[in-house]
Chains A and B, each alone.
Chain A
Amino acid sequence: MEALYAITTGILTASGVYLTLRGRTFPVVVGLTLLSYAVNLFLFSMGGLTTHGAALVGTNENYADPLPQALVLTAIVIGFAMTAFAIILAMRARGDLGSDSVDGSRTDREDPRENKA
Chain B
Amino acid sequence: MTLPWIPLLTFLGVFVPALAIRGGRTVCALATATAPAVALGLVLFFYLGHDGDEVMRTSLQWLPAMGLELAFRLDGLSLLFLLLILGIGLLIILYTRYYLSEQDSMSRFYAFLMLFMTAMVGIVTSDNLLLLWGFWELTSISSFLLISFWSHETTARKGARMAMTVTGAGGLALLAGIMLIGKVVGTYDMGTVLESHDLITASPLYPAIIVLVLLGAFTKSAQFPFHFWLPHAMAAPTPVSAYLHSATMVKAGIFLMLRLHPALSGTELWTVIVTLTGLVTMVYGAWFAFLKTDLKGILAFSTISHLGLITSLLGLGNSQAMIAALFHIINHALFKASLFMAAGIIDHEAGTRDVRKLGGLYRLMPITTVLTCIATVSMAGLPPLNGFISKEMFFTEALASQQFGGLAWIVPLLAGLGGLLSVAYSLRLAYATFFRRPRQEPPKTPHEPPWPMRFPVELLVALCIIVGLVPTLPQSPILEDAVRATVSGEMPEFHLALWHGINPALLLSMAVIAGGIVLHLLHRHMMRFNRQFKPQDARYIFEGFVQRLVALCQRLIDRLENGSLQRYMFLLMAVSVLAMALGLADLDMLAGSLGQQALDPIVILGAALLIMGGVLTAALHRYRLISLLMLSVVGLVVALTFARFSAPDLALTQLSVEVVTMILLMLALFFLPQKTPKESSGARVVRDVLIATGFGGAVASLNFAVLTRDLNSISNFFIDQSVPGGGGHNVVNVILVDFRGFDTLGEITVLAIAGLAIFKLLNRLRLFMPATDMEGRLWSNDRHPTLLMVVSQTLLPLALLVSFFIFLRGHNQPGGGFIAGLITAVALILLYMSRGVEWAQQRLDFQFQPIAIAGVALSTFTGLCSWLFGYPFLTSTFDHFHLPLIGDIELASALIFDGGIYLAVVGATLMILANLGKLTTAHRPNKDMP
A residues with CB within 8 A of B? 1-31, 33-34, 37-38, 40-42, 44-58, 63-67, 69-70, 72-74, 76-85, 87-92, 94-95, 100, 102-104, 108, 110-111, 113-114, 117
- The 9 nearest A-B residue pairs measured at CB: A10-B700, A14-B696, A6-B704, A18-B692, A81-B754, A15-B618, A64-B646, A66-B731, A70-B735
Q: Which of B139-147, B522-530, B627-635 contacts A (4 or more CB under 8 A)?
A: B627-635
Given A3-B704, A27-B621, 15 extra CB contacts under 8 A: A1-B600, A6-B700, A6-B704, A11-B615, A14-B618, A20-B573, A22-B676, A26-B673, A30-B627, A57-B719, A73-B649, A73-B736, A84-B664, A88-B912, A91-B761
Contact B750 A2 (CB under 8 A): no
Q: Are B707's CB and A18's CB within 8 A?
A: no
Q: How many residues of B contact A (CB 8 A)?
A: 118
Q: A-contacting residues of B (Cβ < 8 Å)?
A: 563-566, 569-570, 573, 596-600, 603-604, 607, 610-611, 614-615, 617-618, 621-622, 624, 627-628, 631, 634-635, 638, 641-642, 644-650, 653-654, 657, 660-661, 664-665, 668-669, 671-677, 679-680, 688-689, 691-693, 695-697, 699-704, 706-708, 711, 713-715, 718-719, 722-723, 729-732, 735-736, 740, 743-744, 747, 750-751, 754-755, 757-758, 761-762, 765-768, 770-772, 776, 812-814, 818, 822, 905, 908-909, 912, 916
Q: In the complex the two chains form, what is the Cα distance from A81 to B814 in whole Å?
A: 23
Q: Which of A15, A19, A28, A80 contacts B661 (CB 8 A)?
A: A80
A-B contact pairs, 19 of them (CB 8 A): A2-B597, A28-B569, A30-B665, A44-B647, A57-B719, A57-B722, A57-B723, A67-B714, A70-B735, A70-B740, A73-B736, A74-B736, A77-B818, A77-B822, A88-B758, A90-B668, A90-B672, A92-B762, A114-B770
The answer to whether B668 touches A88, judged by C-beta atoms less than 8 angstroms apart, is yes
CA distance A28 to B564 in the complex (A): 14
Determine the residue in chain B with the shortest Cβ distance to A54: B646
A contact residues around B638 at 8 Å (CB): 37, 40-41
In the bound complex, do residue A7 and residue B689 qualify as a contact, i.e. CB atoms below 8 Å apart? no
Q: Is the CB of A4 within 8 A of B818?
A: no
A22 to B614, CA, bound (A): 16
User: Nearest Cβ distance between residue A6 and chain B, in whole angstroms?
Assistant: 4
Q: How far is the CB of A49 from chain B (nearest CB, A)?
A: 5
User: A45 and B569: CB pair below 8 A?
Assistant: no
Least CB separation from B595: chain A residue: A2
A6 CA / B264 CA spacing, docked (Å): 61
For A37, the closest partner residue in chain B by CB is B638
| A108 CA / B908 CA spacing, docked (Å) | 35
User: Judging by beta carbons under 8 Å apart, are A13 and B813 in contact?
Assistant: no
Please pick, from B624, B634, B711, the residue contacting A48 in the complex, using a CB distance under 8 A: B711
Residue of B nearest to A80 (CB): B657
Interface of B is mostly: helix
The residue that A69 contacts in the complex, of B649, B700, B767, with Cβ under 8 A, is B649
In-complex Cβ contact of B718 among A22, A24, A67 (8 A): A67
When distances are taken between beta carbons in the complex, the residues of chain A under 8 Å from B618 are 14-16, 18-19, 31, 34
Main SS class of interface, A: helix
Cα A4 to Cα B644 with chains together (Å):
14
Given A65-B713, A92-B765, verify A13-B689 contact (CB < 8 Å). Answer: no
Q: How far is the CA of A41 from the CA of B766 in the complex (A)?
A: 38
> Which residue of chain B has its CB nearest to the CB of A75?
B747
**CB neighbours of A65 from chain B (8 A):** 711, 713, 715
| CA A22 to CA B688, docked complex, whole Å | 9
A3 adjacent to B610 (CB under 8 Å): no
* A-side contacts of B668, CB under 8 Å: 26, 29, 87-88, 90-91
B646 touches which of A19, A52, A81, A89 (Cβ 8 Å): A52
- For the complex, give the distance between the alpha carbons of A88 and B691 in Å: 27
Question: Are the CB atoms of A14 and B706 closer together than 8 Å?
Answer: no
Checking B598, B599, B700, B714 against A7 with a beta-carbon cut-off of 8 angstroms, the contacting residue is B700
The answer on a CB contact under 8 Å between B649 and A23 is no
CA distance A79 to B615 in the complex (A): 21
A13 touches B696 (CB 8 A): yes
> How far apart are the CA atoms of A84 and B905 in the complex, in Å?
13
Complex contacts, B649 vs chain A, CB 8 Å: 69, 73
Kindly provide the distance from the CB of A92 to the nearest chain B CB, expressed in whole angstroms.
5
Are B703's CB and A47's CB within 8 A?
Answer: no
Q: Is B770 in contact with A15, judged by CB distance below 8 angstroms?
A: no
Whole-angstrom CA separation of A53 from B597 in the bound complex: 15
